[in-house]
Structure 1
Amino acid sequence: MVSSSHTSRRRAGSRAATKAATVGRRPAWAVAVVAASLATTLVGCGGDSSEPAADSPGKFSGRGPITLATGKDTTGTIQEQLDRWNSEHPNEKVTLVELPESADQQRQQFIQNAQTKSDAYTVLNLDPIWVAEFAANQWIDELPAGQFPLDKMLPAVVMTGEYFGKQYAIPYNTNAGLLFYRQDLLDKAGVQPPTTWDDMKDACAAVAKLPEGKDVDCYAGQFDKYEGLTVNFSEAVASAGGTVVDAEGRATVDTEEAKKGLQFLTDGFKDGTFPEEASTYQEEDGRRAFQAGKLLFHRQWPYQWALANAKDGSSKVAGKFGVAPLPGLDGPGKSSLGGLDLAVSKFAKNKATALDFIKFFSSEANARTNLKVNSAAPPYAGLYDDPALRRQFPYLATLKESLSGAVPRPVVVQYGDATAAIQESAAAALSGSKSVDAALADMQRDLSAAIAEK
């Protein structure tokens, strides 16, 4: 989940608060030239210079009770792991602080806690997109990278926790978007899982002719005006061969590729490929629709696998669906990179305990458990090739493929303002209040302004 691990609800707080809070942006994990460009142009600001320096890597001090601040634990697995830690560390217990499901609201609360220099949150479970912002503001401590098995993790995922070559966060899980589809209905219609957007529309038309397909809508993603819309828009642009921000850090939504990506989304609502109610869908809304048998295709994070396969009667599609890479304009599309990264608050107490807890919580054993219990995408490369896990989760090869080609959300200095600009214009196009051309022109202007802010 994004970040839920999956992304959630709409951006909280004023634009002014965001501008004051967001002062840094990490280099893109997949584009070395971006890293070089940012390293020469960005200056991490924030943090009162009168404050004492954070504990240096490997010298975290203080032991005792701590807290873990994270998005709502919808699976129950987090608390189970905390219970295990607490039983083994009775004098260093971890208390779970559950923040809203909304990623935007989570970020707001994390920032408020940091700006007040509160010690209420010890370990922060962050959307990777926030790591650079928190590091630049000196809200989180640099971690001793050598004390973690980062060499066993997917390199691209490890880099989500880096800022200017230093490790500020450790991956807890990762994420890539997948196409969930009704295998039973495609088989009955005699069609294969789609690799292009046109293939998907043709498949929907074929299934619609079946008696079983009468009340099944074609496709949904996350189209509410929140971080999920930034993810879905970015994926559509990348899947049409474009970029939202290029390797030089410039806004690039005034291109034909970006237009094709947004046109696919807007046309989907106009021609009925996407049900009208999908304009308000976040992750859980679409998941419930898919599990109820109302969708033929659903763009979703891997966590949906376990829930949709539940045998307790909560899912009407258990054993009836498959997973494929996202489709694109002319072939397989590209996913945005999601996940959750663990960091230590600069203002926390008992940081030695926090460091040990992150080692435990981000371990390969826990990642394996998270995969088995709630199909969370692990950061450890070896788990994707484990024969037993592949038998249990046949989509792992597909997920690994999606992760290998996943792209980060826009790499800009002021990410909060950038995502707001994307959401505003994309939502206007989807609702029909602006044409695709006008929406992209506005987005190009506002995104360029956000990039120019220091």
Structure 2
Amino acid sequence: MCASVLSACGGSDSSDTDAGGPEKSQDRGPITLASGKDTTGTLQGQLDRWNKQHPDQKVTLVELPESADQQRQQFIQNAQTKSDTYSVLNLDPIWVAEFAANQWIDELPAKEFPLDKMIPAVVKTGEYFGKQYAVPFNTNAGLLFYRKDLLDKAGAQPPTTWDELKQACEKVRKLPEGKGIGCYAGQFDKYEGLTVNFSEAVASAGGSVVDDKGKATVDTEAAKKGLQFLADGFKDGTIPQQASTYKEEDGRRDFQSGKLLFHRQWPYQWTLANAKDGSSEVAGKFGVAALPGLDGPGKSSLGGLDLAVSKFAKNKATALDFIKFFSNEANARTNLKVTSAAPPYTDLYDDPALRKQFPYLATLKESLDTATPRPVVVHYGDATAAIQESAAAALSGSKSVDDALADMQKNLSAAVAAK
């Protein structure tokens, strides 16, 4: 294996790589797994298990930045230079169409994976024109983490609507222990998380960002109501101003330190916020509910991570076998137990022992069943940039909601139509 994965293994020409896909390849040997920053600290342990069993086909973890936008940028730079630095890519599902269309990843042999045991909508995130280009490693749906101890003391219930959320916050803020607490936060920095949170707000108001015919649809009353909820939240103090720079970890840290009443977050927060090592002040004090919406329960964006093989990788037979190992049900069960990551396997949500350990699993399954994908667009970078630019302007107050959505409709339409 190379002494330095980044410096010594990169930049090969495509003629040096296996010309076929992983299904046809017989090439075996060391590979890399390129993945976003492992905030759980558990990936290396899984790689160690593989490496112990495959000493001649070791996998080296290449950690990319925590920010999804920066991860995508590095993945694309690697692909455009036809580098073999990254073998297996741990991708945000929304990038699969873009990477497949640009021939940066290989088609995978769908029949060799237990896809029939996975949630159908999650499996579909790895498809492009009916072919499987990626396999789910985990999945994700946004959930509402809430301070159960404070709601109970205030005589309030977990909210199912935005109005109920604000009313519950007002009650809690009247308590001595609730004075000055931040009411609600999500991921509102100008990055992929803002696209996710905006899309959820629109869907939770009954709208869509891009319809099933591929047309931009943010020039609607539902889209206006969704963005208005977020903009008004910053304006009236429901959402603290510091949340304008929140990514996942920023909000998680503030929720764990007791600064937030409600937090829109992925399931991984459960284990970290329940830590008994002193790192969390809210361990045992919070609950999880579905996201609230305009008139009832809201809708989450579908998240997660999908595994793909780089078109330019060497040792593709090893890469294919590793994905089979890394995405299997046993690993998914372990990931849930250790990190509370949402598994793609349907049966795990009905497992009595897991439900006892993770009482939110039924809520998570319901959220996954109603989750909506972000716009499936080949030029996804342009699409998400259009969303982020206009949404950020509305949240900061530099543009009215109407003007922000008008600009978004124009720029998003151009991104969707681009060939």
TM bucket (normalised to shorter chain) is over 0.9
Equivalent residue, structure 1, for 2:37: 72
Give CA deviations for 1:121-178 in whole Å, capped at 9, x if unaligned: 1111011011111111111111111111111110110111111111111100000000
Q: Secondary structure at the match of 1:76?
A: coil
Q: 2:325 maps to which residue?
A: 360
Say if 2:151 is the partner of 1:186. yes
The residue number in structure 2 matching 1:317 is 282
> Pick from 268, 291, 299: which aligns with 1:334?
299
Amino acid at match of 1:117: K
1:61–1:53 Cα change, 3 Å: closer
- TM-superposition CA deviations, 1:268-316 (whole Å, max 9, x none): 0111100111111110110001000010000000000000000000000
Q: 1:334 and 1:95 mapped to 2: Cα distance?
A: 37
Q: What amino acid maps onto 1:319 in structure 2?
A: G
Partner of 2:164: 199
Q: Partner of 2:51 in structure 1?
A: 86
2:132 is matched with 167
For residues 372 and 107 of structure 1, the distance between their equivalents in structure 2, rounded to whole angstroms, comes to 28
TM-score by length of 1: 0.88
Q: Using the alignment, how far apart are the partners of 1:215 and 1:186 within structure 2?
A: 15
- How many Å apart are 1:343 and its aligned residue? 0.5
Structure 1 residues 68 and 52: alpha-carbon distance in aligned structure 2, compared to 1, 3 A threshold: closer
- Please tell me whether residue 298 in structure 1 is matched to residue 298 in structure 2: no
Structure 2: gaps (5+ residues):
1-12
- Tell me the residue number matched to 1:112: 77
Whether 1:132 and 2:90 are equivalent positions in the alignment is no
Q: Within 1, Cα distance between the matches of 2:19 and 2:154? A: 61
Where do residues 35-434 of structure 1 align in structure 2 (5 Å cutoff)?
54-56=19-21, 58-434=23-399
Where 2:353 maps in the other structure, the secondary structure is helix
Aligned-pair CA distance for 1:55: 2.2
Amino acid at match of 1:274: I
Give distance in 2, aligned partners of 1:132 and 1:247. 15
Partners of 1:169 and 1:342 within 8 A in 2? yes
User: What is the DSSP-based 3-state SS (H/G/I as helix, E as strand, rest coil) of the residue aligned with 1:229?
Assistant: helix
Counterpart Cα distance in 1 of 2:38 and 2:376: 29
Q: CA deviation at 1:74?
A: 1.5
Structure 1: distance between partners of 2:14 and 2:409: 36
Instruction: Name the SS of the counterpart of 1:175 in structure 2.
Output: strand
For the aligned residue pairs, the C-alpha RMSD in angstroms reads 1.5
Aligned-partner SS, 1:248: coil
Measure the CA separation in 2 of the matches of 1:329 and 1:129: 26
Give the Å deviation of 1:318: 0.2
2:14–2:312 Cα contact (<8 Å) kept: no
CA shift digits 1:92-131 (9 cap, x unpaired): 1111111111111111111111111111111110110111
Deviation at 1:453, TM superposition (A): 1.2
Counterpart secondary structure, 1:417? helix
CA shift for structure 1 position 58: 2.7
Structure 1: state its 5+ residue gaps. Answer: 1-47
- Aligned residues of 2:183 and 2:238 also touching (Cα < 8 A): yes
Q: Percent identity over the alignment?
A: 84
Deviation above 6 Å: which 4+ runs of structure 1? 48-53
* Other structure's SS at 1:273 match: coil
Residue 56 of structure 1 deviates from its aligned partner by 4.3
